[in-house]
Structure formats: structure tokens, C-alpha cells
Amino acid sequence: MDGVLGMGGYAAYVWPAYGITAVVMLGLLITSLREMRKNESQLAALKQAHPRRRARAEEGQS
């Protein structure tokens, strides 16, 4: 176990590398998800408030 965590004396470089990668990737994932949730819920709320728009949109599509 010490072999893996210790990384042959290079733990101070290897683990931060993986750590930074994880932080950036998770950060991207979380911000993207949050943004999407926010926008989609806002859109749903707006559609709720303006149900007529939906009808009009469908009519416009035909």
C-alpha cells in the first residue's frame, strides 16, 4: 500500500497531478450541470407562465 501512495518518493508530484485533473474535470462537470439545470428550470417556469407561446410555436412549425 505504501508503494502506491508513496509513488516511489514522487507522491508530491503524482498525486497533485491526479488531484488537479480531478478538480478541473469535476469542476467542469458541476458547472455544466448546474448551468443546464438552471436554464432548463427557468425555461420551464417561463413556459408555465406563457402557455400560449407553446401553442403558437407549434402552429408556427407547421
* Residues found near other proteins in the complex (CB under 8 A): 4, 7-10, 13-14, 16-18, 20-21, 24-25, 27-29, 32-33, 35-36, 38-40, 42-43, 46-47, 50, 53, 56-57, 60-61
The least distance separating other proteins from the CB of residue 34, rounded to whole angstroms, comes to 9
The least distance separating other proteins from the CB of residue 54, rounded to whole angstroms, comes to 8
DSSP annotation string for 11-62: HHHHHHHHHHHHHHHHHHHHHHHHHHHHHHHHHHHHHHH-HHHHHHHHHHH-
